[in-house]
Amino acid sequence: MPAASVKPEGLFSYDVVAEDPETHARAGVFHTAHGDIETPVFMPVGTKATVKGLLPSTVRDLGAQIVLANTYHLAMRPGAEAVESLGGLHAFMRWDRPILTDSGGFQVFSHSDLVKLSDDGVEFRVDDYGGGHVFWTPETNMDIQQKLGADIVMQLDQCPGYPAERGFVERAVELSSRWAERCWKAHTRPDQALFGIIQGGMHLDLRLRSLEHLEGCGDFPGYGIGGYSVGEDHETMFETLEPLVSQYMPRSKPHYLMGVGNPTTLVRGVACGVDMFDCVLPTRTGRMGTAFSSTGRMNLRNAKYALDPAPLDESCTCPVCTGGFTRAYIRHLVMSKEMLGGILLSMHNIYYLVDLMRRARTAILEGRYGQFVRDWMGSPAAWDY
């Protein structure tokens, strides 16, 4: 890994610039080596160093301030050393704004019976990459992420699914906490921010135990909130998410709800005090022929759109909706399995979520986010499941 310069003054600080008087929503700015990130923010996912089907310039023009890439997939192919030798992720994927890399822990543990877990690390079989065996320690994971070179990197953690026995979740909290300590000690790159991850499933006391340990083992510049959107319904999630974020997480650091991306959950999450979101939902559902809209989620495979000359969303200002692409045309592309259909829907869906967070930020700055939430929940747009 190339030698890194000393961290500039103010890098990875988080400035809260406004707080809503009625909710726990806040607007802020997180400072990184590749630019400031205004929050609340939605971050498109580019798992394998690409937001599927879209040029980096297109993603930028859609308003994305930061994108994600995945450590597991990039470590398997083309390999962290290859990315490093080609100038790091920013040069490799031609993206000059901030990047966040997930640790890949979620992907590792999704291999279920192919995983052998120990206090030292995790051994897993990469059946999606040739079937070989790989062993990761927290130190291994930090080395990979430092070579990839993202602006924000995540600790290696164990993410339990739902439902799960309390004892299993408690063990995951303990293991993730110990791994967080080791990640903190192993991470040495000053132009990267290492975020800790709060685990604990649907148990608030375990969430608080996880947070307390993270605060004690290192000065993490931000916190991911993991272990949600893993099988539970949204109301169950908010039972613990709302008090965790609004009452207990430190005000001076960004709160990142990992892997959650349907519009209504973003609106409600911001009201709790969440600052950052990511999800594959906008591009994955786009490739399946589905669009977010102010009238609710739309399935373009529906025959009612076959002769519909309207844009996807009359109130949307994305390049697809303002560019003359009709519902009828996009349905034709989807039904014909033309790749342009998924591309146009992915563009619209990413813009929709990025713009939703832009509008949420404006509402917070103007002190009217409580009304923003009520208006949203009373509109057809809230029917986005």
Active site residues: 102, 278
Please state, in angstroms and rounded to a whole number, the distance separating the CA atoms of residues 214 and 216: 5
Please state, in angstroms and rounded to a whole number, the distance separating the CA atoms of residues 355 and 316: 9
Please state, in angstroms and rounded to a whole number, the distance separating the CA atoms of residues 301 and 278: 26
Please state, in angstroms and rounded to a whole number, the distance separating the CA atoms of residues 50 and 346: 13
Please state, in angstroms and rounded to a whole number, the distance separating the CA atoms of residues 225 and 246: 13
Grouping H, G, I as helix, E, B as strand and the rest as coil, residue 40 is coil
For residue 29, what are its two tokens?
């700015």
For residue 48, what are its two tokens?
């394998």
Query: Which residues, at least 6 apart from 243, have a Cβ–Cβ distance to it below 8 Å?
Result: 204
Does a cis peptide bond (omega within 30 degrees of 0) precede residue 40? yes
280 close to 47: Cβ distance less than 8 angstroms: yes
* Residue found by looking up tokens 């003359």 in the block: 324
Does a cis peptide bond (omega within 30 degrees of 0) precede residue 44? no
Please state, in angstroms and rounded to a whole number, the distance separating the CA atoms of residues 103 and 141: 7
Does a cis peptide bond (omega within 30 degrees of 0) precede residue 263? no
From the list 127, 44, 140, the residue with the least C-alpha distance to 93 is 44
In angstroms, how far is CA 330 from the centroid of its own chain?
27
- Residue 324, exposed/middle/buried by CB under 10 A (0-12, 13-18, 19+)? exposed
DSSP codes of every residue in 285-315: HHHTTEE--TTS-EETTSGGGTT--S-S-TT
Does a cis peptide bond (omega within 30 degrees of 0) precede residue 163? yes
Question: What's at 111, amino acid-wise?
Answer: H
Grouping H, G, I as helix, E, B as strand and the rest as coil, residue 226 is coil
Q: For 339, phi and psi rounded to 5 degrees?
A: -60, -25
